Structure 1
Amino acid sequence: MNDIPRKPRLGSALSGHQRGFALVTVIWGLGLILLLGGTLVVGAKYRSRIASADTSIARASAAAESAINLAIAATLIPEGKTKFPLQCRMPGGERAFVTVEEEIGKVDLNTASKPILERLFAALANDKAVGERIAGEILRARSTTPRSAGEAGSPSASVTSGKQGPRLGFTSIMELDQMAGMSLRLFRKAVPFITISSGRTAPAGEAASPALVEVLGLNSPPAQPRRILASGNVTVRVDVTSGDGSRLVREALIDFDGGTGQPYVIREWRLGTSILPPPQQRRLPPCVRI
């Protein structure tokens, strides 16, 4: 009788199950806390990086705008000796590549001849049919799209209907992306080469950029750094590289003959697409000497 094993009491069995369940609960709780802690750390690092990137972009943007103002000032000084393109170092350490391009050296969307338009877009798209189609769309748009007389672009740059009233044509080069068949890639490639304010049927070879000379096959001597006079319309393009490698391109369309009594008028600000290599990693002279 004494050899018969006794069954454990019900209270003891329940107590063991409860202890096991409590242990599992504690382990899961610790795991959840560790997971939440890791998430918070990753989130904090992510927010820190985003804030750092925003600060870097803001600094690059401020440096680009300052470089554009410096280029305008250098152009306005009659006895100035600044020649463009210019590579220099901004006070904050950013490296700037500054170009000043005369609008007479670009293809005018409002006045360029059909062959010039076809040649430009065929070369950029590497497709003759695309060039012909885009040129046709531009000719059609500038003959049917009204604009007010006071809008951007010099009066000589617009195409009129031969009657008193609204002028016809483009008011900004950014309107090019509205043309049927214009892809984003082709639009970005075309922006550095087009204008609405030269009033010419073909770009002036002596003022055209080396890239446009190559694209259109113009007979023009190689471009050399030169002094730009404060006359007509120019585009100031600044390619800024920050110390952390962030890069930003800003452009401003400047009208030195705005007819407002001011020495210049900024007609348009825009983010640019650089067609130039970034500044070489060598010691650059300061943009401003104090």
Structure 2
Amino acid sequence: MAGPGRNSRRASSRKGFALLVVIWGLGAISLLVLSFLTTGRLRLQTAFNLAGAARGQSIAEAAANLAILALIEEKDARRGPQEPPAHDGAPRFCSLGGAEVAVAIEDESGKIDLNAASEDFLRQALAGLLGVDPAAADAISRRIAEFRTPPEPDAPKQQEMGDKPFAPKRAAFQTILELDQVAGIDQPTFRALKPFVTVYSRADGADPHVAPPALLATLLGMAPNQIAALAAAPFPNALDRADPRFPSQFLLTSARGAFVIHVESLIAGGSGAVWEAAIELDPSDGSPYAIREIRHSPARFLDDLRAMDGGRAALRPC
């Protein structure tokens, strides 16, 4: 027969095991609750970030639409005595929907047209903008001209591909993004030239009143360090848009009808968005304007917007 001491020890052992099971169960439940709370917090933060990004994008697009309407009004004002403002890409800061907004409008008539620019214009502009010697600038300008020029009917097929996995297009540029398909233009060169080229001015020359500051400095024959400084930080600047040193053979004063609109927004909490597009006023279909391209673009004015964060009341409405 088992004595009372042995029974007592067995009962105590069962109670200890039950206690361990209870403790283990409570631990498992606690881990499940913690995991649920963590997952819920992450999902909530993700949803908050997505909502902020969507709101910032909506505000950026709204500001872009307001800028397009302003350009249409300016176009009508050209028929009157008042000269509309020149759009050289300088940012304008304003507030919209509780967000700080930067709006930059670039008149494409101030840029280098990849299809219409002569090799002389390309050579002079590229030498200054890229900081290369005349021989290198000449080689790049010849490759751009080769890329855009249709072959002669009886000419042999072009087989030379250079550093690209394909032969030159031998047709007009449809977008500036095709510039990186030109032999000899690597990604750093493409990024350096992208702010200064267009396919919409359709002219051999640039309007000095709206040319990007670094391009204007190049055509004025300014020093390489000054050109580089203006390429890195274009605004503000002390350039004279009526400087007589601007080469007369490249002077363009035609009507402005194509623009790139770059908008950035920053909402409370730090979420921001960028919207950029090339538009044309009075397109051939009779509509007031047409969006020719919507581009992916990095932020340019985010630091300025962050410095203004919380100062929306001091900004003018967009």
Percent sequence identity is 33
Gaps of 5+ in 1: 1-5, 144-159
CA deviations over 1:89-144 (Å, ceiling 9, x no partner): 11x12222212211121233334435256436634xx999997886676455434x
**Paired residue type of 1:105:** G
Alignment of 1:20 onto 2:16: yes
What's the C-alpha RMSD, in Å, of the aligned pairs? 3.8
**Higher share in helix:** 2
Please state how far the C-alpha of 1:255 moved relative to its aligned partner: 0.9
Residue aligning to 1:232: 257
Residue aligning to 1:119: 127
**Distance across 1 between alignment mates of 2:51 and 2:39:** 18
CA deviations over 1:236-285 (Å, ceiling 9, x no partner): 11122222232322112111142111121111112322444634625111
Residue aligning to 1:195: 198
Residue aligning to 1:209: 212
Alignment of 1:144-163 (within 5 A): 160-161=150-151
**Distance across 2 between alignment mates of 1:15 and 1:31:** 24
Residue aligning to 2:34: 38
TM-score by length of 2: 0.65
**Paired residue type of 1:263:** P
Alignment of 1:248 onto 2:273: yes
- Inter-CA distance 127–40: structure 2 relative to 1 (3 Å threshold): farther
Secondary structure, in 3 states, of the residue corresponding to 1:260?
A: coil
**Distance across 1 between alignment mates of 2:15 and 2:140:** 79
Gaps of 5+ in 2: 154-168, 223-238, 243-253
**Paired residue type of 1:284:** L
Secondary structure, in 3 states, of the residue corresponding to 1:278?
A: helix
- Inter-CA distance 135–189: structure 2 relative to 1 (3 Å threshold): same
**Distance across 2 between alignment mates of 1:51 and 1:63:** 18
Residue aligning to 1:153: none
Contact residue 105 and residue 262 of structure 2 kept, 8 A: yes
**Paired residue type of 2:316:** P
Secondary structure, in 3 states, of the residue corresponding to 1:249?
A: strand
Size of the aligned set, in residue pairs, is 255
- Inter-CA distance 260–120: structure 2 relative to 1 (3 Å threshold): farther
- Inter-CA distance 25–69: structure 2 relative to 1 (3 Å threshold): same
- Inter-CA distance 213–231: structure 2 relative to 1 (3 Å threshold): closer
Contact residue 111 and residue 198 of structure 2 kept, 8 A: yes
- Inter-CA distance 16–201: structure 2 relative to 1 (3 Å threshold): farther
- Inter-CA distance 37–136: structure 2 relative to 1 (3 Å threshold): farther
Please state how far the C-alpha of 1:178 moved relative to its aligned partner: 4.7
